[in-house]
Each structure stands twice: as C-alpha cells, then as structure tokens.
Structure 1
C-alpha cells in the first residue's frame, strides 16, 4: 500500500518525538501547527482505525466545551496545562464548579482556577501517546490556527473508567476541522498622539475594580502595553529585566503568597499560593513545587512593568511581563480575595523591584 501524506507526517512526527522534542516543537520542525500534527493522527471515515505502529492516537471531541469541563470533575486528579509561546503553567488538582455565560467560562476550585474564552476553542482531541513512561492520556484543545489553548493530562490517580466514559460521551463522529495557516494577526497600536492620555488617566483613576481595565482599554482604543507606557509615573513604573527572577526568589524567601496568571488566546490559568522551589536552568526560570510547575523563557522577556489599579478595596498592584511583540507573557498579583485589601508584604515586594518609592494609585 502506498503511504499517504498523513502516513508520512505521522512517521516524521514519531521520529522527532523519539529524539526528545516536545509535540509543539516537533510540529514546528515539520512546518505544521501542533493542532495540525495531532489532527493527522485522528480517526476519520476514511481512517477508522489507527495503525498498530502509530505512537500517537487522536479522537475528535464534540464542541460541548462546558459539558466536557464539567465532566472532568468525575475523573478526579488531573494536570491542567496552559501556555503561550514563552511560558508553561501546570497545576495538579480536580476540575470543579465549571460554569459559563455565553462564550466565557469560569472554573474556580482550590487547585485549578481558569478563565475560558470559548470563541477561540476550535477543536478538541482525546490524545493517547506511547512514551517511555507508558501510555499517556490527555485532552487537547486548539484554536483555529492550531495553537493549543488548553490541555488536560491524566495522572496515575485519575479515575480512568470515568475518563474513558467522558471521552465516549463526547466523541465526535465528524472528522477534524481544518486549521487556518499562519499565526493570528496582531492589531497595531494607534499612534500615541491619537490617544486621549488625559482621559485615559482620569478613567484609570476612577476604576472601582480591576476587571474594568479591559473595557477601559477598549474604550480608549489603546493597547495594554501602550497604556502602561502612557501612564508611566502616574499609575505604572518600568521594572528592570531581572525583575521576574527577583520576584520569584524574594516571594519564595519571604513566604509571600502570590497569584500567577498565564494565558493563551482561549484560557487564563491562575495559581495562588507561596513558592518553595525556584530553579533557573539555562534560559528557563522554573518553579518546581508539588502541585504547581512554571517554566518561563527568561530570555523572551522584553519589558516588565509595575501596574497599580485603584479598587473599592484599595490599590491593587501587579507585575506584568511582555515579550518583544508587546504580548503578555505572565502577570503576578498578591494573593487576595474580592473584598480584601492587598497584602502589604506583596506591595512592598513589588515596588522594591522597581527601586521606586511606594505610591498608591491616584
């Protein structure tokens, strides 16, 4: 039988994975998105079964995203993974209390805390892969460009009867939808001179809640990093290149619990708590704690800013980290609940990173 193009893709992908490349990197080496590489392993009406020598098998899932996430509560402990180009955020726990309003989902549990943007969820797969550690099971979700928006990895403690029942309920009989080539287009910022900086500053100072910030950016048609730059000295301060490494080390040493926000286009994943193991390894800055891992390419950091936003509970301070395109890599906040003021130890730590005197938002 003459091998098909997908047969060749699968064999090339398996060879690269055997060399130790991560799935995302193996796909990139082949000139594919990760989603396209996974889709090449999916069953379809013309390929109803997997060849015995295929290391990776994929089953297309239906688009009942909320139903899938709610069903995960029954499978018990899993690992949630959200990443962007420069950072990986991994949390171990149970998916609890999934809900949604329209295309926006929310999942808030003691371990796994997610904000979900389903308009960017294009296709999901149940993926099994043979590895030196045995057969690995995961649910993987991709946007229309084939970029992973979120993944759920089974663990030894996972209830696999419940896992397989969930996959069976959400197995789609349809083939995988295609992916759009290239990366999502970035919207260029308007020139600074066209921004109503005075109005932006006044509206910023009038905020009552940090969640108003996104609408503020839309109202003034200003990019996030552009807004931070325009408000420098009033509501923001630049921080040096080593601010993130210092933040993690100082938070670990002082036992300051913080919130770590990492986002893809379709998901923001949040960790709340202290750190214990912070370990640089080459270009990677890692947190290697029980239940939480973070892997950051420190050489991808282009700008870091301290940001202060007024709220009804007092000022809320964040450290926001950007790449060379102006995209957010990661954001850090002090651990807090709605209705609680910000922790003084976090605020002191954050302002100390900028070597600027502490000052509350105007």
Structure 2
C-alpha cells in the first residue's frame, strides 16, 4: 500500500505541474484514479482523514458560523454561503439542511470518506462516495470560526490515518425498457394525478421509466423540448427582471438549492457562471445534450421547471421559480419561461 500511495503521489504531483489549472477531479480522471485517492496522498501533511457518524458531524457544522457549501456533478458546480441551520434526518440515510441560505437534501448512503483539507490556508471538510467522487464540500470563509473548525476536525479525526482508501464503481445504469413495454396510458394518468412534485420520482419508478424517457412519454401539454441555450436565456431573463428562482444541482449524495435572485452572469470559455457575493454557479454548457420545460401538477397548481441533461440522461441542473409548498407558482417565473417555451 505504501508503495502504491507513494507512486500515486508522484504521478499526482507531476500531473499538477503539467496541468497547473486543472482541478483535482479532472486530474483523477487523467490518472485513472479518484479524487478521494488523490486527496489521500496528502494525509499527514495537508489532509486529515475523518471518521465517525457524518450525520452528527453535519449537525455541528453551524458552530463554524458562515461557511461556503459546495455540491457538484461532472458539469455543474453550486457554491452557496451561509450557516448550516436546521439539520435533521428522517431516516438513517435521508436528511435535510433547511435554511434560507444553506438548503440541502442529503442522501447519506452515498457518503463514505471524509477529510479535513488545507489547500494553501484554504480550509475545508470534503466528503466522498464509495467511487471516490466528491458528494459535498464545506469551505471556511473570512467570516467563519476557525477555532470551531479545528475543534470539529479534532473530534472526528480518524485514529488510523493509514487507512487504505479503496473505491468501488457503481453498476452501469440499466438500459431503458422499449417504449412498447411501458404502460404509457397508466404513466400519463399517474402524471396528471400528481399532487406534489416529489411524487414524480415514484411515478417513474412504478412504471419502470427513466427520467428522460418519462419526459418523452409525458401527457400532452406537460413537456416541451427546448434549445440547449435555454438555460442561459432563462438565467439572463431572471437576472434582468429580478425574478426570484430556485437552482438545484446535485449528485448521488447531495442536492444543493439556491433560492433568490441571480444577478452577475459571466461567460468564461465553456462555462456559464453566476458570480454573486453569496452564490456561484458554474455550468459547462458544452455538456448539455437535452433541455426540457416540464410541468407537474400540485395542490397549488402547475409547477414549471427547466431541466437540463447530459448525453447519458443524467440531470445537470434544474431551475424553478421561487416557491413554497401550497403556494401558487410566481407569475414572474412563468413570464421568464415564456422566453424559451410557448405552452
């Protein structure tokens, strides 16, 4: 193990010299490794391995005060500043952080490894799934309590800092059933009878339909495929009109949500960015393969979303109008959506 770790460390350091602007996630792909394994090469120097119940850890993050939460997938990064208030778990695996600023849905079965990291005096806690991919990161800001960070790090430091970081790939996504094997009429009826948008996943599961297949088989008037530039158009319009929106970005272990306005929008190469004081979103638009405007019924009327997918049918980002359960969708959001869809 020592030799393997030492060899990986050398390769990682060489790759960083050759690719000074590359992120650790990209270097991991380049080396056929994982981000967690590359990070582990710094244990004993800039990295400390954590252990314990990460649910309890999350309940103590508020001691650090204002921090920056980061959740990402391959093609979108969501960074939001705030305090981790109101952390709760309905079951051993599913939890929430419910605060106007830090708003998370937690799927703890996806959390395997945790580290405390010092990147040139930029301090963070970083969590990874069994495949070694990052599920969530928490960075200190200038307003954070550094003493609380150190206390939390000490409390959850693993006794064995030599633990081997092993990774396990997820099984491939099952192939879609042919449309001819789907009870399309039943699926469409189920969609029309949704009373809460959270029921949608259950409808997909019940009829054995993938998400993008479900959008293709939707009842008439509920889905419209739109241009892959629609997400930029919608964000621009929301910015111009000051329409409060919700931005969802997630992975297997966490979904992170921003609710509020977006203001400063900037294009940098392949990335389209929201660069506001408390919110940064970085979207790799060249990865977008399909974009849909999707309508779902609720007790308070229709809820409209912009859903953006990659070539594998994985959700990259979702946009909604700002809303609360039981309250009708904002007309300002519907006006924004009209810039890309005509139904």
Specify the TM-score bucket, using the shorter chain as the normaliser. Answer: over 0.9
Counterpart in the other structure of 2:25: 24
Counterpart in the other structure of 2:100: 110
**C-alpha distance in structure 2 between counterparts of 1:15 and 1:79, whole Å:** 30
* Gaps in structure 2 of 5+ consecutive residues: none
Q: Contact 1:255–1:274 (CA<8 Å) still a contact in 2?
A: yes
Q: Contact 1:258–1:346 (CA<8 Å) still a contact in 2?
A: yes
Counterpart in the other structure of 2:132: 146
- 2:59 corresponds, among 52, 56, 70, to 70
CA root-mean-square deviation: 1.6
CA displacement at 1:109 relative to structure 2: 0.9
Q: Contact 1:79–1:155 (CA<8 Å) still a contact in 2?
A: yes
CA displacement at 1:210 relative to structure 2: 0.6
Residues 37-76 of structure 1 correspond to what in structure 2 (within 5 A)?
37-42=38-43, 49-50=44-45, 57-76=46-65
CA displacement at 1:170 relative to structure 2: 1.1
Q: What is the DSSP-based 3-state SS (H/G/I as helix, E as strand, rest coil) of the residue aligned with 1:4? A: helix
Bigger mean CA offset, 7-16 vs 17-26 = 7-16
- 2:284 corresponds, among 270, 286, 297, to 297
Residues 321-340 of structure 1 correspond to what in structure 2 (within 5 A)?
321-340=308-327
CA displacement at 1:40 relative to structure 2: 2.6
- 1:168 corresponds, among 142, 148, 154, to 154
Counterpart in the other structure of 1:212: 199
Q: What is the DSSP-based 3-state SS (H/G/I as helix, E as strand, rest coil) of the residue aligned with 1:353? A: coil
TM-score, L = length of structure 2: 0.94
Q: Contact 1:106–1:116 (CA<8 Å) still a contact in 2?
A: yes
Q: What is the DSSP-based 3-state SS (H/G/I as helix, E as strand, rest coil) of the residue aligned with 2:25? A: helix
Counterpart in the other structure of 1:95: 84
Q: Give runs of ≥4 in structure 1 deviating > 4 Å.
A: 181-184
Q: Contact 2:304–2:320 (CA<8 Å) still a contact in 1?
A: yes
**C-alpha distance in structure 2 between counterparts of 1:271 and 1:348, whole Å:** 20
**C-alpha distance in structure 2 between counterparts of 1:270 and 1:185, whole Å:** 27
Q: Contact 1:39–1:176 (CA<8 Å) still a contact in 2?
A: no
| Cα shift readout 1:343-362 (whole Å, capped 9, x = no counterpart) | 012112213312x23xxxxx
Residues 1-362 of structure 1 correspond to what in structure 2 (within 5 A)?
4-18=3-17, 19-42=20-43, 49-50=44-45, 57-102=46-91, 103-130=93-120, 135-174=121-160, 175-176=162-163, 178-182=165-169, 184-231=171-218, 233-354=220-341, 356-357=342-343
Q: Note closer, same or farther for the CA distance 1:214–1:197 as it changes in structure 2 (3 Å cut).
A: same
| Cα shift readout 1:260-306 (whole Å, capped 9, x = no counterpart) | 00001100000011111111112111100010000001111000011
* Gaps in structure 1 of 5+ consecutive residues: 43-48, 51-56, 358-362
TM-score, L = length of structure 1: 0.89
